Amino acid sequence: MRRHRTCTDPAAVTTVAVDPGLEVTPPPRWILVLDGVLWVIIGLVLLSLDSTSAAVLGYMVAFVLIFGGVDELMRTVVAPGWRWLHGILGVLFLLAGIMALFDPFQTFGILALFIGWYLVFKGTFDVFTAIGFRHAMPMWGLTLAVGVFELLLGFWAIGYPGRSAWLLLVWVGIGALLRGIGDLVAAFTHRSYA
């Protein structure tokens, strides 16, 4: 059964549907802090590695995938919704991480090449989207510039495996850093923690 509440603000009247059985409870602060600190450490370690060590990078990517899988499985316990998606992602990350441990060279090569091709496809999509919707998008030029940059970066990375290695290292390291910073910000800015 749904109840409707109406805002009585004279500037705008809005009706909001509220489901009384749905309560959104954020995870405890210590989980977010621990999660954020671990992701930041992983990101810093990845960014400090030399891109010529393919085996080390392959193992690091494997451990990042395994840690990501454990993190996603932990989120199935504390997530307010979409728990099934966290569970599926957790299992997929764990399987990919375990497979990466068995063959780190193959993992490294495939992921490095994948990042380059992803940037080529994403850049192509952004360029066509910007041109096709230039009359509807207020900042279509920015989307076009980002698309061209992604295309150039993708072709640059595909052209030489060493560049793909460097790009993979930076990509995964920055991704881990952003995940950790996001968790730390969420831990200290959520209203229920005040």
Per-residue pLDDT of 70-99, as tens digits, reads 888 888 887 677 778 888 888 988 988 888
At 51, which helix (H) or strand (E)?
A: none
Q: Is residue 175 part of a domain?
A: yes
- Over residues 21-76, the pLDDT tens digits come to 555 566 778 888 888 898 899 888 878 877 566 677 778 778 888 888 888 888 88
User: Structural domain tally of the chain?
Assistant: 1
Selected residue with higher pLDDT from 169 and 183: 183
Q: Indicate whether 172 belongs to any domain.
A: yes
Which tokens hold the place of 134? 């230039």
Q: Is residue 13 part of a domain?
A: no
Confirm whether 1 is domain-assigned: no
Q: Is 138 exposed, middle or buried (0-12, 13-18, 19+ CB in 10 A)?
A: exposed
- Among the listed ranges 11-15, 97-101, 123-127, 172-176, which one has the minimum average pLDDT value? 11-15
- Residue in 142, 176, 179 with CA at minimum distance from that of residue 60: 176
Residue at 70 is within a domain: yes
Q: Is residue 138 part of a domain?
A: yes
- Counted residue by residue, the chain has a size of 194
* Rounded mean pLDDT, 115-134: 86
Domain assignment of residue 37, given as a range = 27-188
Q: Which two tokens stand for residue 145?
A: 């510039």
Does 18 reside within a domain? no
Residue 4 lies in a domain: no
End-to-end CA distance of the chain: 32
AA identity, residue 136: A
User: Are the C-beta atoms of residues 165 and 54 closer than 8 Å to each other?
Assistant: yes
